[in-house]
């Protein structure tokens, strides 16, 4: 996972795992973190609720998301662009 910043906001890359809601998708971001003692890299996944204004994402799409102001109770991210469509 390559975390970048756009105007002081985090930008992440992940995969859409659910698009059943209206104007909302769930994006799963995988990151590798080193164990504090053994230094072995462990894979961790985090799910984010992301605002999708045009309902353009489907399950399996790879997208980039950016932090934004709170849109609802759980949504604090928005879609920047769709990197790759699912087949």
Is 14 strand, coil or helix? strand
Distance CA 10, CA 65 (A): 8
Give the structural domain span for 38. 4-84
Q: What is the pTM of this model?
A: 0.88
Given pLDDT bands bounded at 50, 70 and 90, which one contains residue 87? confident
pLDDT, tens digit, 9 for 90 and up, residues 21-77: 999 999 999 999 999 999 999 999 999 999 999 999 999 999 999 999 999 999 999
Q: What is the pLDDT of residue 43?
A: 96
Tally of domains in the chain: 1
Contact 9, 64 (CB under 8 A): no
CATH of the domain at 64: 2.40.50.140
CA 5 to chain centre: 14
């Amino acid at each position: 996972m390559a975390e970048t910043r756009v105007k002081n906001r985090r930008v992440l890359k992940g995969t859409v795992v659910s698009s059943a809601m209206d104007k909302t998708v769930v994006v799963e971001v995988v990151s590798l973190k080193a164990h504090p003692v053994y230094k072995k890299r462990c894979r961790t996944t985090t799910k984010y609720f992301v605002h999708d204004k045009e309902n353009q994402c489907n399950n399996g799409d790879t997208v980039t998301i950016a932090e934004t102001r709170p849109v609802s109770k759980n949504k604090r991210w928005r879609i920047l662009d769709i990197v790759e469509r699912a087949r």
